[in-house]
Structure 1
């Protein structure tokens, strides 16, 4: 024991300058397998913080349609991996984290031995294809590292990654027939005609380049690659599975299927042959670029100019330790540590870098652009992430968040619609979900002072976006003060979300002394009142003639004017003015019972009749934590005379919806939004209205946590008498002075200091 301690001490001293503390090993608390079972839709593979490459195993290939009908099973595979699957198809390089849709899974690689098979096979009969059985007993997932034993091929697969390069290491048995398959047909959500074109060029016996162009969720998406082998292959070939002739374009003068230096087609699978000795390692470096194969090669040479797999792993994990070290928390139990730092890890997976090391990237106009003075990002799931993820970045990643704002403004400049992003990725706008919530992200950054670019230019982009009459019912919203349900569906949700975004615009206009804009959008921010039916006490769809929709069910989610919610929970969505909403609903006496019932009522089975079983995930009463519209709801008690109920509800949600297990997320992580909710709530406060500069207090689960702010200051949260029983706040002090209201200002955090919660077992009424 003493000898081991001495060796450990020598190791630390060897890499730590005298007088400095060794870096914290926070990577050990992260379990990337959390959320990979059921509907968390996270991926377990290797990636760097905010990395462009997400190198991860895919466990099935699911067609989007079966016999012309939507295949419900595809929803399970938004991240490509499901924990309860028994086989792995291969390892692809692009994945979304926690979404309800997907479009990626580019460039799948699979090592095999024995007779060459170029089809993936099936889960029931993996031996008929190149896929392999695997066991979780021989699987390991860490930040920037993934390992699994491929049982059918007796190959140990290991993955790591830098920002733009995925690195594979495959340990083979002795074999005269070892292969590495590169499948350009594979994708998550396999539309039959998803591939527009693929191209591969054999540069030499260790370097391959090419690209893939797809037409899926993103209408036109092109990804370039460079693939390098640590060992020359002995031969190579391909098979084209498209209906087109294999030899088209070469007048049938060449056999493209074997050892031909160029391969092109819509449905290509390629292979590379090797002879291996027992325990021999073949390594692959696989770089991506949004611009060109030259860009991919340059990315590879810049980020991984060597073949040291362990070095890449260690350096990437050091990056993760640095990023995770932005929050240093003391927590009650091991499970709490795992939950907390895995959530922090999930929030740092995206948005993802989208540019070469030179700063070049593909723009929304499908031209190449140069990012000057900022890192260009993509994957903006804004309907989800404006609520907590981007406000979280404003605290712990303000420079990155400012670059994300710059990326949104570049998107606006390249948009023929003159609109900020709604749900965008890889130089495409998907127009998924509702609202124009880039506005919220930009406003929050400007109001809190973390975006230091041209604020007036940013405001102009927000205003132009909010005035685009052809977008999703906005023409009616501007004319009538609401979206009419008979003209545009999900009308109540849209009206409420537009009103909040308009309030954000008004706040920035006020700060910049743009009085005309301030007056216009302050009026628009009141439009939520136009869909509130005071006769029943709920938000309700209104028709274009000014009357409320007659056939109306406050619990139903089907054709009732709402999206991912119903009247019961969306009636609580006025984040920019909860006090006015509560007053309109009859004050505390009527509002508090309504809010109580959200968490305590029992939904009848008919509620799920028109939905998939996935809707049952993340539900507490009628509160659906797996969907975002009610994420702020538990904090609304702070605007009533019963704020202690916020404390007990938040603790209940934290305990029920987050577990350190593969099925530990109560719904999609939604690009980090669910995890950001957890982090804020664990620290004891939450941004009910981003751009307000204020947080509502809750009930922290940390014993102590320190935020390492980018301005060099620290902000510490301490919870005295912390325990599972002591969920109620007795008093709160900021820098030793009592807070007399359950709110905390962003400015107070930015100054640095200490927030102290005194906890107890009974509510302080």
Structure 2
């Protein structure tokens, strides 16, 4: 009877009026939370990149903090808070995990409902408790969990910066709530405020990559407010608890607990405000976003927010499996970059020690996984979330201005050069070419600085400012193998760096051209051809090259080498998105290019589980083999994306893997961000409508249609607004609105 009561409660709490089209019902938050079971994962077993690394999170799009069950209480690198398959949990985390990544969580804290009994289990490792996750009604706006042993149900909803919990105990025996500060470095602070019925605190953030272990100059702040008075209370630290204590800091296992009297099984509600600037601003965020105690209203508002955002792409199909893949991919693509500013505009100044700035006319964002997201996830956001995207671009420029260098891979509001390349330049160029509103001159100043200068202060360089190995690149036109790139997290990888810098130079050249900086345009355009300097004609692939001009002799293009990033030369040699025709000539012409491309695909050496390969399937268009592009893309959609927890073929990397699916399913892809050009495959749905924001897209709607479209359908021609079209089209065509029609 107890469990029947709880599940009747679940049904009751879950019933609410929904919009006419309820897109969130197609989201499965568990996809990507388990070891990958796709083709790419089988080809690369045991590698961490074969895990999706996503979390089932309640959050608003780009939310400051996500809310997810916790099965590990560490903020250790590459360990997500949750993995499907674990049947026990320690509570629910307010997390800043980079979804689908192998970085670290930071500034997090954990909430756990419990019972204050004689064997009160107050430490995370003591609290492992079997939990039931009602997955069939789990959405980004609401999740519910039952701890049968404790007879307590937890329901979660939230807002951009806040969480809202509803705890229901079946029995009145000393219900309690525990809050942990999740510091791996024995830092943090927590306080119980009896007058305000609050628990508040902070978790200081420490850096990894550049500045390993050093303070990041920010903390994760929280204020948890309850609707019931505290009966008993105490603090936790050094594996002990102290009754009637209200404050503790900077020791191991910092935490606090409170108990309640709940007659008639009344639920206890807890609202949590979060911030990266202060406890007071966490409280202001809470007061502004959840000023009431109406859980159902907050839940409905968050559902509406998600349905509005997801409805920016309306898909018509009878295949519910593909609808689930599509809208789950949109969910994953809308996690990052992360909102960092408070409701009053305050945000932590970039790469500075707890200094606060204020943005009055835009929201400030952080956590840009640029090496991943420049390819498809950011271009997707330019379509489906243009207001937020524009603010993200402004945020990158602000970061450059405050730190005096354009960041490479900005995380936890600091410089890192965690990956390779200089892809803030790609994101800024793509936004500028699309006509988004930000200070182009200021952006160009820092883009150019990254392209031409290295910090004079070696400490600044070590700290992550500037392109890695730029002096060698400028001297040789490539990065020779003698330069082992010691001051980087990814060391060596000289050939991959050379290829990416050539593309980055092309991007900066496009901005120079737009701003009439002719000399820079000419010089950077010449540098954009530096990819040719690491092409080994005798081997037919990109190869490691020494300073004397000779290439590596002991070379196998199908094997991993230290001069290639996360892959093989046969996979990375195709990364010349800005000059595919030039690459074709380098490889010996169209016939040889086509032969190599077909060989890569036919021998199953293409690796979808990692980003460097993502543009390759669309290269068949350059050799007149649009049918092969369609077959290849649709095969990837079919074999590399599934409906199970293992349904992502590699790290989702802040939504890049998922964004690839969305573009692939719609039938076009931005192979070269900054060019304003999309290469066509073909849609898997009969009708797709992009419902675009008219402030940024005057045409309002862009419709993609294809009779009998599906995962097996190959089309022979395409029409744009009634006129026969080639196998590419322009972003301006989307801006004007219209119809892209695929025909057999």
What TM-score do the two structures reach when normalised by structure 2? 0.88
**RMSD of equivalent CA atoms:** 2.0
State the match for 1:607 in structure 2: none
SS at match of 1:649: helix
1:496-544 Cα shifts (integer Å, max 9, x gaps): 0111011011111112211021012111111101111011110011112
Structure 1 runs (4+) greater than 4 angstroms displaced: 136-140
Question: Is 1:539 matched up with 2:526?
Answer: no
State the match for 1:617 in structure 2: none
Q: Contact conserved, 1:30 with 1:338, CA < 8 A, in 2?
A: yes
Question: Is 1:26 matched up with 2:9?
Answer: no
State the match for 2:191 in structure 1: 200
Counterpart CA distance in 1 for 2:365 and 2:132 is: 35
Q: 5+ unaligned residues in a row in structure 1: which ranges?
A: 1-13, 17-21, 65-73, 122-128, 247-255, 602-620, 760-765
Q: Contact conserved, 1:111 with 1:170, CA < 8 A, in 2?
A: yes
State the match for 1:460 in structure 2: 445
- The 5 A counterparts of 1:430-449 are 430-449=416-435
Q: Displacement of 1:332 after TM fit?
A: 4.2
Residue in structure 2 matching 1:51, options 63, 76, 97: 63
Are residues 147 and 137 of structure 1, via their aligned partners in 2, closer, same or farther at CA, if it must alter by over 3 Å? closer
State the match for 2:618 in structure 1: 635
Q: Contact conserved, 2:366 with 2:410, CA < 8 A, in 1?
A: yes
Question: Is 1:426 matched up with 2:412?
Answer: yes
Q: Displacement of 1:317 after TM fit?
A: 0.7
More RCO (CA 8 Å, sep 6+): 2
SS at match of 1:695: strand
SS at match of 1:594: helix
Q: Displacement of 1:641 after TM fit?
A: 3.1
Counterpart CA distance in 2 for 1:395 and 1:724 is: 24
Question: Is 1:512 matched up with 2:515?
Answer: yes
Counterpart CA distance in 2 for 1:629 and 1:25 is: 35
Identify which range, 657-666 or 526-535, moves more after superposition.
657-666
State the match for 1:579 in structure 2: 581
Q: Displacement of 1:216 after TM fit?
A: 4.4
Counterpart CA distance in 1 for 2:566 and 2:93 is: 31
Q: Displacement of 1:62 after TM fit?
A: 5.5
Question: Is 1:316 matched up with 2:302?
Answer: yes
Identify which range, 392-401 or 535-544, moves more after superposition.
392-401
Question: Is 1:720 matched up with 2:711?
Answer: no
Counterpart CA distance in 1 for 2:318 and 2:526 is: 47
Q: Contact conserved, 2:188 with 2:201, CA < 8 A, in 1?
A: no
State the match for 1:251 in structure 2: none
- When the two structures are aligned, how many residues end up with a matched partner? 680
State the match for 1:596 in structure 2: 598
State the match for 2:124 in structure 1: 120
SS at match of 1:425: coil
Counterpart CA distance in 1 for 2:261 and 2:190 is: 26
1:81-136 Cα shifts (integer Å, max 9, x gaps): 11111111111111321112222371101111233112223xxxxxxx22211234
Q: Displacement of 1:52 after TM fit?
A: 0.6
State the match for 2:43 in structure 1: none
Counterpart CA distance in 2 for 1:399 and 1:629 is: 28
Question: Is 1:162 matched up with 2:162?
Answer: no
Residue in structure 1 matching 2:664, options 681, 697, 700: 681
1:256-315 Cα shifts (integer Å, max 9, x gaps): 933233322232122112233453211111111111111011110000011111111110
SS at match of 1:272: strand
State the match for 2:203 in structure 1: 212
Q: Displacement of 1:356 after TM fit?
A: 0.7
Counterpart CA distance in 1 for 2:374 and 2:135 is: 38
Are residues 394 and 704 of structure 1, via their aligned partners in 2, closer, same or farther at CA, if it must alter by over 3 Å? same
State the match for 1:298 in structure 2: 284
Q: 5+ unaligned residues in a row in structure 2: which ranges?
A: 1-15, 36-50, 455-460, 462-466, 485-491
Q: Contact conserved, 1:173 with 1:276, CA < 8 A, in 2?
A: no
Q: Displacement of 1:363 after TM fit?
A: 1.4
Q: Displacement of 1:467 after TM fit?
A: 2.3
- The 5 A counterparts of 1:135-284 are 135-136=132-133, 140-184=137-181, 186=182, 191=184, 193=185, 195-202=186-193, 204=195, 206-217=197-208, 219=214, 220=216, 221-241=218-238, 257-267=242-252, 268-277=254-263, 279-284=265-270
Counterpart CA distance in 1 for 2:22 and 2:545 is: 55
What TM-score do the two structures reach when normalised by structure 1? 0.86
